[in-house]
Each structure stands twice: as C-alpha cells, then as structure tokens.
C-alpha cells in the first residue's frame, strides 16, 4: 500500500479549509484516511498551518510521498528539512546534536522572516488606514468650508436685507415727517 500525505477538503463552498492526512494513494480525496496530521486554513492572512511534526516526520521516514501542496506546507513548517537532516544523521554525515543545531538555526531565521512579513502587513494596513483617515478629514474640512461659505452668504444677505429695510423705514419716516405740515 502506497501512502500519500495530502490535503482533504473540509468546510463550505468558497470557504474551504483542509486537513492534512496520511492516506492510501488509491482512496478518494475526501475519503478514508490512515491518520490525520494537521490542518491548513488558507482563509486567514497569513494562512494558518497546524501540523503534528512528529507524526508527519514518522510518515516521511517510512516512505510516504507528499502531494505538491503538502510538500510546500511541510517545507514551510520545517518538517521536510528535518527529514533531510535525519537522513544525514542516519548515513553518518554528522551527529544528532549537529542536526538539531542546524535545524534550530534554520527555524530562527524562518521565524524572523515570518515575523517581518507579518509586521510589514500590519504596517501596510496601518498606513492605509492613516491615509484613508487623512483623506476623509480633508473631505470633511472641504464640506465644512462649503457649509460655512453658504452660512456666511445667507448671513450677509440677511444683514443686507435688514439694512435695506431700515433705510426704507428711515426714508419713509423722513418722507412722512417732511410731508406733514408744521403747526
């Protein structure tokens, strides 16, 4: 029986997540499997990958083949590299301590890259939010200026109308006092 490490689709339409499983290569994609090794959720940013490294390494060491996607996922988690180092230990190229030291150094670099990518995503989001808020405040300020201009126009028109009314009343009162005969 040929064992394959592959993805098993779960979830609803257009919101899939996957189980990483060790299955007989002849079984259907979502069918029976031998052992569940972890999960992969591509819907999050960055994608969430949870794998039991010991189980996956055990299956790789006994000869399980991986699908292309699972190979990439296991490589991201360092399981493929650990398998490679274990083959070197088995052949006698170096000892287990050296393999662990190399793996820990590689994982440290990998974690730094992942953290910097997360930070850049976060800073990009914050920058976009700041730009959007600045743009929105400029638009609000422009609207306020238009409203203030209209208010000033109306106020000026009202003041002008009141002054015209006062001058008309003053003129009519002067005209009426001029027209009255003095006794």
Q: Would you say residue 159 lies in a domain?
A: no
Tally of domains in the chain: 1
Query: What pTM was estimated for this model as a whole?
Result: 0.65
SS (H, E, C) the chain: CCEEEEEEEEEECCEEEEEEEEEECCCCCCCCCCEEEEEEECCCCCCEEEECHHHHHHHHHCCCEECHHHHHHHHHHCHHHHHHHHHHHHHCCCCHHHHHHHHHHHHHHHHHHHHHHHHHHHHHHHHHHHHHHHHHHHHHHHHHHHHHHHHHHHHHHHHHHHHHHHHHHHHHHHHHHHHCCCC
Q: Would you say residue 57 lies in a domain?
A: yes
**CATH code (residue 41):** 3.30.1320.10
Q: What is the pLDDT along the chain (183 residues), one digit of tens a residue?
A: 799 999 999 999 999 999 999 999 999 988 999 999 999 999 988 899 999 999 999 999 999 999 999 999 999 999 999 999 999 999 989 899 999 999 999 999 999 988 888 888 888 888 888 888 888 999 999 999 999 999 999 988 888 888 888 887 777 777 776 666 555
- What pLDDT was estimated at residue 50? 96
Q: Would you say residue 9 lies in a domain?
A: yes
Q: Would you say residue 60 lies in a domain?
A: yes
Q: Would you say residue 86 lies in a domain?
A: no
Q: Would you say residue 123 lies in a domain?
A: no
What domain range is 53 assigned to?
3-77
Q: Would you say residue 150 lies in a domain?
A: no
């Amino acid at each position: 029986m040929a064992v394959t490490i592959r993805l098993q689709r779960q979830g609803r339409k257009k919101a899939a997540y996957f189980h990483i499983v060790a299955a007989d290569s002849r079984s259907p994609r979502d069918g029976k499997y031998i052992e569940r090794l972890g999960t992969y959720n591509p819907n999050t940013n960055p994608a969430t990958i949870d794998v039991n490294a010991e189980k996956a390494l055990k299956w790789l060491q006994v000869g399980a083949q991986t699908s292309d996607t699972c190979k990439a996922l296991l490589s991201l988690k360092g399981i493929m590299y650990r398998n490679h180092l274990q083959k070197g230990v088995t052949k006698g190229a170096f000892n287990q301590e050296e393999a662990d030291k190399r793996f820990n150094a590689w994982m440290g670099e990998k974690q730094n890259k992942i953290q910097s990518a997360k930070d850049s995503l976060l800073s990009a989001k914050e920058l976009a939010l700041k730009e959007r808020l600045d743009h929105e405040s400029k638009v609000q300020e422009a609207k306020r200026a238009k409203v203030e201009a209209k208010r000033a126009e109306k106020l000026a028109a009202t003041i002008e109308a009141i002054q015209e009314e006062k001058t008309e009343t003053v003129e009519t009162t002067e005209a009426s006092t001029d027209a009255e005969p003095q006794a």
